[in-house]
C-alpha cells in the first residue's frame, strides 16, 4: 500500500476563508446603506447637495487609488488582504461613531464615513470575486447584507422617528447601538482573517474581476428598494416587523441557493433577471400583499443575478486606475438619487426613474456571463480550479443566516402589529 502524494493532499478545508469574506461584505453593505440613509446628504434641490454628492464620488475614487498604490502582492488593481483591512477599519471606525452621534459632529463623521464605506465595499468585492468561485462568494455577502439591513434599517428608522431631528448624542436606543458596535467589530475581525485565509487557501486571487460596477446598482436595488421593510409594509398593509421577517426569509432562501456550486442553466438566469426587474418595478406602484410577494421574489432571485454578473470566464485587464474608476462608479450609482433630486427641476421625477434603470443594468449584467475572446481569436483560458462542492446542509456559510433571522424574530416579538402609515414612495430618505 503506497502513501498518497503529499502534493495531492489538500492542506486546508475547502471553505477556508469563505465565511469571513461573505460576512465582511455583508457588514460593509450594511454600513454603506446606513451611512447613505443617515441624512448627511439632504434630499433637496440646490447646488449644495449636488456638490456634496459629486465631492463624495471624487473622494471615493481618490481614496481607492491611493490605497491601491500601497505595496501589495498579487495582481495590480486587486487589493490585498492588508489593503482590505485598512479600508474596513476606516469604514467601521468612522461609520459606527457617526451613526451613534448627532448634531454637527455627526454630519462631519458621516461624510467621512460615507467616503470610507463606499471605498471599502467595492474594494472588498474585487478582492473576493478575483478568485475561482469568488463571484458566488461576493453575491452571498451582498445578499446577506441586504437581509441584515432589512432588520437593522428598521431599527435605525424607528429610533430616528422616536428621537426626532436634533436629538442629543447617544440618543440611539441600546439595541441598535449595540448591534452597530458588534457589526463593526466583527467586520474588522473578518478582515483580519483574510490574510491567513489567502495564504493557506488553494484559491488565491487570480485576476481582476469584471463588472464590479454592478455593486452600485445592487445596493440601490437590494438595500434601498427590495429590502426596505418600512415601505413594503406600508404598501402591503402589514406590520413592519412581519414584512421584515418575510424579506429576511427571502434573502436567506437566495443565499441558500448560492451555496450550490452547480452552474445555472441560461433559462434560470434569464428568469432570475426578469424576476428582479419586475420586482423592482412593481414595488413602488403596487399595493396590498402583491408588494410583499414582489419584493420577496426579487430578493430570492437577486443572488443568482449577482453571482452571474460577478463571474466571468476571463479576468479584466489589470491596473489600479481601472479599479479606482469602478469604485467611483459604484459610489456614483449609490449617490445618484440624491444628485438627481438636487438637479431635477421636476422635483424627483428623474430619481424615481433611476431605480428601474438600475434594476435593468443589474439584470443585464447578470445575463452576460461570457466575455469576448481576446484579439487574435485565442480561446479564453479555463479557470485555475473549479469551486469545491460542499453540500449546503454542511456549508458553514449557512450559519451566517442566523443573525438576521434572530433579529427579525425578536423584532416580531417586541414590535407592534400596526402597519406603518402609507405614503408616497421615495428613493432617498
> Which range, of 105-119, 179-193, 207-221, 311-325, averages the lowest pLDDT?
311-325
Give the confidence band of 43 by pLDDT, cuts at 50, 70, 90. Answer: low
Give the confidence band of 342 by pLDDT, cuts at 50, 70, 90. Answer: confident
* C-alpha grid cell, residue 311: 463571474
DSSP SS3 for 80:
coil
Q: What per-residue confidence (pLDDT) applies to 10? A: 42
Q: Where are the alpha helices (DSSP H) in 283-316?
A: 289-309
* pTM (2 d.p.): 0.87
Beta strands per DSSP E along 118-255: none
pLDDT tens-digit map of 272-327: 999 999 999 888 888 888 999 999 999 999 999 999 998 866 777 888 999 999 99
Give the contacts of 201 (CB within 8 A, at least 6 positions apart). Answer: 12, 16, 17
| Mean predicted lDDT score pLDDT of the chain | 80
pLDDT tens-digit map of 371-414: 443 333 333 333 433 445 555 555 677 788 898 999 889 888 88
> Which range, of 19-33, 199-213, 222-236, averages the lowest pLDDT?
199-213
Give the confidence band of 421 by pLDDT, cuts at 50, 70, 90. Answer: low
The answer to whether the beta carbons of residues 204 and 194 sit under 8 Å apart is no
Residue 344, φ and ψ in degrees, nearest 5: -85, 115
Query: Cell numbers 469584471 label which residue?
Result: 210
CA–CA distances in Å: residue 156 to residues 97, 159, 381, 386: 14, 5, 47, 41
Q: What per-residue confidence (pLDDT) applies to 159? A: 56
Give the confidence band of 355 by pLDDT, cuts at 50, 70, 90. Answer: confident
Q: What per-residue confidence (pLDDT) applies to 27? A: 95
pLDDT above 70: residue 422: no
The number of C-alpha atoms within 13 Å of 283 and in the hemisphere containing its C-beta is 35
Q: What per-residue confidence (pLDDT) applies to 230? A: 85
pLDDT tens-digit map of 134-179: 888 999 999 999 999 999 887 776 655 444 444 443 456 777 888 8
The answer to whether the beta carbons of residues 302 and 245 sit under 8 Å apart is no
Q: What per-residue confidence (pLDDT) applies to 275? A: 94
Q: What per-residue confidence (pLDDT) applies to 7? A: 44
pLDDT above 50: residue 426: no
Once rounded to an integer, what is the mean pLDDT over residues 220-229?
87
Give the confidence band of 217 by pLDDT, cuts at 50, 70, 90. Answer: very high
Query: Could you give the CA distance from residue 357 to residue 257 in angstroms, rounded to a whole number?
Result: 26
Continuous segment of H or E residues that includes residue 96:
helix 81-100
Q: What per-residue confidence (pLDDT) applies to 5? A: 44
Q: What per-residue confidence (pLDDT) applies to 373? A: 39
Query: Could you give the CA distance from residue 226 to residue 358 in angstroms, rounded to a whole number?
Result: 13
The answer to whether the beta carbons of residues 272 and 304 sit under 8 Å apart is yes
Query: Cell numbers 473576493 label which residue?
Result: 128
pLDDT above 70: residue 227: yes
CA–CA distances in Å: residue 209 to residues 13, 79, 119, 166, 190: 24, 12, 16, 43, 21
The answer to whether the beta carbons of residues 209 and 134 sit under 8 Å apart is yes
Q: Is 8 exposed, middle or buried (0-12, 13-18, 19+ CB in 10 A)?
A: exposed
Q: What per-residue confidence (pLDDT) applies to 12? A: 42
The answer to whether the beta carbons of residues 131 and 75 sit under 8 Å apart is no
Query: Could you give the CA distance from residue 360 to residue 14 in angstroms, rounded to a whole number?
Result: 35
Give the confidence band of 416 by pLDDT, cuts at 50, 70, 90. Answer: low
Amino acid at each position: 500500500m503506497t502513501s498518497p502524494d503529499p502534493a495531492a493532499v489538500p492542506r486546508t478545508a475547502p471553505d477556508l476563508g469563505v465565511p469571513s469574506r461573505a460576512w465582511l461584505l455583508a457588514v460593509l453593505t450594511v454600513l454603506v446603506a446606513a451611512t447613505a440613509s443617515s441624512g448627511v446628504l439632504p434630499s433637496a434641490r440646490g447646488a449644495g447637495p449636488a456638490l456634496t454628492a459629486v465631492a463624495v464620488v471624487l473622494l471615493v475614487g481618490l481614496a481607492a487609488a491611493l490605497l491601491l498604490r500601497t505595496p501589495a502582492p498579487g495582481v495590480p488593481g486587486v487589493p490585498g488582504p492588508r489593503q482590505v483591512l485598512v479600508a474596513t477599519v476606516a469604514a467601521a471606525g468612522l461609520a459606527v461613531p457617526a451613526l451613534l452621534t448627532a448634531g454637527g459632529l455627526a454630519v462631519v463623521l458621516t461624510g467621512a464615513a460615507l467616503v470610507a464605506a463606499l471605498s471599502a465595499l467595492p474594494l472588498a468585492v474585487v478582492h473576493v470575486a478575483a478568485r475561482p468561485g469568488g463571484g458566488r462568494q461576493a453575491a452571498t455577502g451582498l445578499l446577506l447584507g441586504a437581509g441584515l439591513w432589512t432588520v437593522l434599517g428598521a431599527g435605525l428608522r424607528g429610533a430616528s422617528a422616536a428621537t426626532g431631528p436634533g436629538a442629543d448624542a447617544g440618543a440611539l436606543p441600546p439595541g441598535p447601538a449595540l448591534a452597530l458596535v458588534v457589526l463593526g467589530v466583527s467586520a474588522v475581525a473578518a478582515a483580519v482573517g483574510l490574510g491567513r485565509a489567502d495564504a493557506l487557501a488553494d484559491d488565491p486571487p487570480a485576476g481582476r474581476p469584471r463588472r464590479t460596477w454592478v455593486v452600485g446598482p445592487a445596493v440601490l436595488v437590494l438595500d434601498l428598494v427590495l429590502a426596505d421593510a418600512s415601505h413594503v409594509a406600508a404598501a402591503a398593509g402589514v406590520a413592519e416587523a412581519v414584512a421584515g421577517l418575510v424579506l429576511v426569509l427571502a434573502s436567506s432562501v437566495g443565499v441558500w441557493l448560492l451555496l450550490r456550486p452547480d452552474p445555472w442553466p441560461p433559462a434560470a438566469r434569464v428568469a432570475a433577471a426578469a424576476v428582479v426587474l419586475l420586482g423592482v418595478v412593481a414595488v413602488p406602484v403596487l399595493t396590498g400583499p402583491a408588494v410583499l410577494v414582489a419584493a420577496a421574489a426579487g430578493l430570492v432571485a437577486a443572488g443568482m443575478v449577482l453571482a452571474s454578473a460577478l463571474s466571468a470566464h476571463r479576468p479584466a485587464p489589470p491596473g489600479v486606475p481601472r479599479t479606482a474608476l469602478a469604485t467611483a462608479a459604484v459610489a456614483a450609482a449609490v449617490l445618484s438619487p440624491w444628485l438627481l433630486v438636487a438637479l431635477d427641476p421636476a422635483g424627483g421625477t428623474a430619481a424615481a426613474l433611476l431605480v428601474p434603470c438600475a434594476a435593468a443594468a443589474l439584470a443585464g449584467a447578470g445575463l452576460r456571463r461570457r466575455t469576448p475572446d481576446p484579439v487574435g481569436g485565442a480561446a479564453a483560458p479555463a479557470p485555475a480550479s473549479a469551486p469545491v462542492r460542499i453540500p449546503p446542509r454542511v456549508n458553514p456559510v449557512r450559519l451566517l443566516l442566523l443573525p438576521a433571522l434572530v433579529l427579525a424574530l425578536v423584532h416580531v416579538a417586541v414590535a407592534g402589529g400596526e402597519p406603518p402609515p402609507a405614503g408616497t414612495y421615495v428613493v432617498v430618505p
